[in-house]
Amino acid sequence: MRRKWVGGNWKMNGSRAMTSSLAGAIVEARINGVEVALFPPFPYLREACAACAGSRIGVGGQDLSEHESGAFTGEVSAAMLRDVGCTLVLAGHSERRQYHKETDQQVASKVSQALEHGLTPVLCVGETLDERDAGHTAAVVSRQLDEVVSCCGIEAFARIVIAYEPVWAIGTGRCASAEQAQEVHALLRSQLARDDARIAGSTRIVYGGSVKPGNAAELFAQPDIDGGLIGGAALQATDFLSICAAAG
């Protein structure tokens, strides 16, 4: 039985004060039966880690460098995230792939850096609307997943969370239907199973894209949907907590 996982990706939102109060409210709710992680912007990681200290809520960065250290102005390394108390990190979010032209190879290197430094990578995959309309969904997500399997090995998926986030559903209010999401999750799991059935059975594959309190329960009831990566609805404690409750 896979334990459900819910992450809140705050994207470029918030402030120090908001981080302390939102993370504090989530900690105080004492969520049970679900693994929860928060991904605030880099400058607020310390506030989030302080608010979550001693709780079971994990804190992670929204991105990391594919490099170890050195002359990479503006980048943040896996070791630095560990140093401030993070235990997780997002890799390959579609906004990074789209606006910062991150390639599948770079995303795989980021996952590898995260693993090397003991962070849980949350590997984001997903197709654009054009790709879906052209019937390329399966090919796109398989390619994105395959690059990480080739780079890091199938055993690494014992420590990786996969987030399926169709680009057309992110921030658009247009959530994938439970059936559409389930179909892609099952495909990703069967791709892993070709290499290792046991690992495929234990890897958490969560859904992201316009998850709200009203649609979370139906999504999370699907056999291959192990929780969610939440954007907009993660910025309000009541919404985020009710999504966590739907996963519990």
Binding interface with ligand 13P (CB under 6 A): 9, 93, 165, 170-171, 208-211, 229-233
Question: Catalytic residue among 35, 47, 66, 93, which?
Answer: 93
* Nearest residue relative to ligand 13P (C-beta): 231
- Least Å distance, CB 107 to ligand 13P, is 14
Least Å distance, CB 170 to ligand 13P, is 4
What's the closest the beta carbon of residue 83 comes to ligand 13P, in angstroms? 24
In terms of CB distance, is 31 or 233 closer to ligand 13P? 233
Write 36-39 long-range contacts (CB < 8 A, 24+): 36/5, 36/6, 36/7, 36/8, 36/244, 37/5, 37/6, 37/7, 37/8, 37/87, 37/88, 37/122, 38/7, 38/8, 38/10, 38/234, 39/7, 39/8, 39/9, 39/10, 39/88, 39/90
Nearest CB to ligand 13P, comparing residues 88 and 170: 170
Q: Which is nearer to ligand 13P, 70 or 173 (CB)?
A: 173
**Catalytic member of 35, 127, 165, 185:** 165
Q: Rounded to whole angstroms, what are the CA distances from 16 to 49, 85, 102, 189? A: 12, 16, 28, 38
Question: Pairing between strand 227-230 and 205-208?
Answer: parallel
Active site residue 185: no
Min. distance of Cβ 212 from ligand 13P in angstroms? 8
Q: Give the three-state DSSP class for 8.
A: strand
Half-sphere exposure of 9 (CA within 13 A, CB side): 28
Q: Which is nearer to ligand 13P, 107 or 154 (CB)?
A: 107
- Give the residue numbers marked as catalytic: 93, 165
